[in-house]
Amino acid sequence: MPSKRNRVQGGNTKGQASAVPQGDSQRRARSDLEGDTDQPAATLIRVEEAQLRWTMCSTVSDILLDGETDISDMKLNDFLREYFGSRAAVRKRKVDMWDFLESPDAYIKDQQLLEEISNLKDYQLLTDRRKLTEGGVHYLENWIEFKEKDTVTPLTRKKITDALTQIQKEVARWEAEERTKRRAEEDVMQDTEEKTTKLEGFYESVYGAKWGHVLGFYDNKICEDRMEIHEGKPPQSWTYEKKGLTFEKDDGVEQFSPPRPRLMVLTSEKGWPYSWRENKPIVDCYVNCEVDRVWQIVKEDLEELSGPYGGYRPSLRHRLLIGTPGIGKSMNAGSYLLYQLLHCDAEKIKVVVHCFGEGEAYVFDKTAKMVTKYVGSKASRSVFSSFPQCGMKGYIIYDAPTN
């Protein structure tokens, strides 16, 4: 069998490589076509990811020569010596490879040698480069409209297809990133933009909440405490005594005769703001003595605001309600304050706002008897700033987020 010189493969390598021990040319031709499969899969994946660099404006020559030897600048004799050793040579020394491609039989009469040459991967790629150039396929984008794709070798088609696949993956990845980016921007805009919604019938539901109460008393006949549920307000409520700036329940008052109130209930058919934000209306607001004590403190603040201070009217104190999570500060205390504030003189307090963090606020307009829901990243702040601008007097119940 004829021998040849093996070559060191490299990206767009030109010219001859150093001579190494000879091998079988047909075996070399087959291995060139099949490709090197000795690399680990992980290495091949990393190489593939690193080579995502083609564009539709990439030249077909660059794609076909990627990782291959460029024989287009070699003379025919240099090519024969490089691949077949000293057994093959032609008399004309200045014949280049492009001339040889035009008419191989004019320079080499040995049909077996011609067959071996035609089986070489580098020669096939050069032949395909000429076909594509003659067919007007200079850039990758020209390949799309090329009608004679079957005239080139499977190796060339694979290289070009792989380049197109890489571009498609890059485009798909870029489009996915852009969609994600746009969605994130839209989410930010939706959170930032303030949305307002008129809630029909909700003002009347809260303002007209129905009362109920539970009375507790000691039954001498059975020697046990008894509970009775009644509609309406209790005949008498809890009594408190002033302690500095606050109130404390007075358990020792004599006028507090049995039966004693244990619990009051306010029922709003459409629920309360705390439950509106969850779209799961809770209709009952439970009021115990501690919840009512909160209202007594706020009530005194309001009375001081309209008291006889000459021309000076003090501002309301900021009150902070704290307690163990789950005891009903948000639902019960907040809802009860809202109900009582809506029943205050509309000339003193025209608007009551129930806020839940910065992003959600419910504005109760006592003049228009309307509830407006504000949603947005700065909804509460926007509502706060509107009070002085409109010259309105209002009270704000701010439910701070747990986080």
More confident: 208 or 258: 208
**DSSP run (H or E) holding 383:** helix 379-390
pLDDT-derived band at 352, boundaries 50, 70, 90:
very high
346 vs 369: CA distance, rounded Å: 11
77 vs 80: CA distance, rounded Å: 5
Structure tokens at 338: 């809202």
Computed over every residue of the chain, the mean pLDDT equals 77
pLDDT of residue 42: 46
pLDDT-derived band at 280, boundaries 50, 70, 90:
confident
State the average pLDDT over residues 167-183: 89
Task: Find the angle CA(31)-CA(37)-CA(41) to the nearest 5 degrees.
Answer: 170
Where is average pLDDT lowest: 183-192, 246-255, 337-346, 352-361?
246-255
363 vs 177: CA distance, rounded Å: 40
CA distances in angstroms from 62 to 68, 176, 262, listed in the order given = 10, 29, 88
In order, the DSSP letters of 273-335 are HHHHTTT----EEEE-HHHHHHHHHHHHHHHHHTS--TT--PPPPP------TTSSIIIIIHH
Where is average pLDDT lowest: 38-42, 159-163, 271-275?
38-42
pLDDT-derived band at 266, boundaries 50, 70, 90:
very high
pLDDT of residue 69: 85
pLDDT of residue 29: 36
State the average pLDDT over residues 233-257: 69
More confident: 340 or 6: 340
CA 293 from chain center: how many Å? 45
pLDDT-derived band at 312, boundaries 50, 70, 90:
very low
Question: Facing residues of 352 across strands?
Answer: 364, 395
90 vs 77: CA distance, rounded Å: 6
pLDDT of residue 203: 96
Question: Facing residues of 225 across strands?
Answer: 218
More confident: 240 or 59: 59
Count of residues in the chain: 403
67 vs 69: CA distance, rounded Å: 7
- pTM for the full predicted model: 0.51
240: exposed, middle or buried (C-beta count within 10 Å: 0-12, 13-18, 19+)?
A: middle
More confident: 303 or 272: 272
> Above 80 in pLDDT, residue 322?
yes
pLDDT-derived band at 217, boundaries 50, 70, 90:
confident
